[in-house]
Amino acid sequence: MINTLLWVLHLPGLHAKKSPKWAGTNKCSRHSFNALILSMDETIQEMSLNDLDDVMEIEKLSFVSPWTKRFFEETLISPISSSLVMKSGSWAIGYIILYSVADEVHILNIAIHPGYREKGCASSLIQYVLNYFKGKGVHEFFLEVREGNLSAISLYQKFGFEKIGKRKKYYTETNEDALVMCLSVH
């Protein structure tokens, strides 16, 4: 069972009953993320090309209209993109993709393998991203979510995201509207 209690996501300066173990620093084009070890087998780390087979499986299991492998490859080389995976051992069980420009982050995609949902994995990924980018001076986080995806909306609201708008028929494959959500931190 994956251990994703929020106390394991503490970054330097935060207090916890236990301290996380930190692995080496991974380099990406814009940001440098520390790989966070959640337990003996679970980590959050920068996504690599080697993770894409697992990521594509999760993507196809999670979305009606999944991203292509090529799109994931392009995000890995984009200077404004950050891509993280949550792993159990060597297998990716979830991921989050985002763009960051100046003091804004836009969460583009987040998904957890169905076998690991409802165990706090998405919360762990979001908390890690929020902590990291707040420390880098980011003041606003944005995302779009299907209007009917109530569990995702609830998750985002738990972190303080608020609905700020709607994009009509944003999801063309189902004609669903997207809610635009924002978290402002100052």
Residue whose tokens read 């996504």: 47
The residues, ordered by sequence, that sit 6+ positions from 161 with a Cβ below 8 Å of its Cβ are 141, 143, 181, 182, 183
DSSP, res 115: G
| In contact, 2 and 42? CB cutoff 8 Å | yes
Instruction: Give catalytic residues, as residue numbers.
Output: 144, 156
Collapsed DSSP state (helix, strand, coil) of residue 73? helix
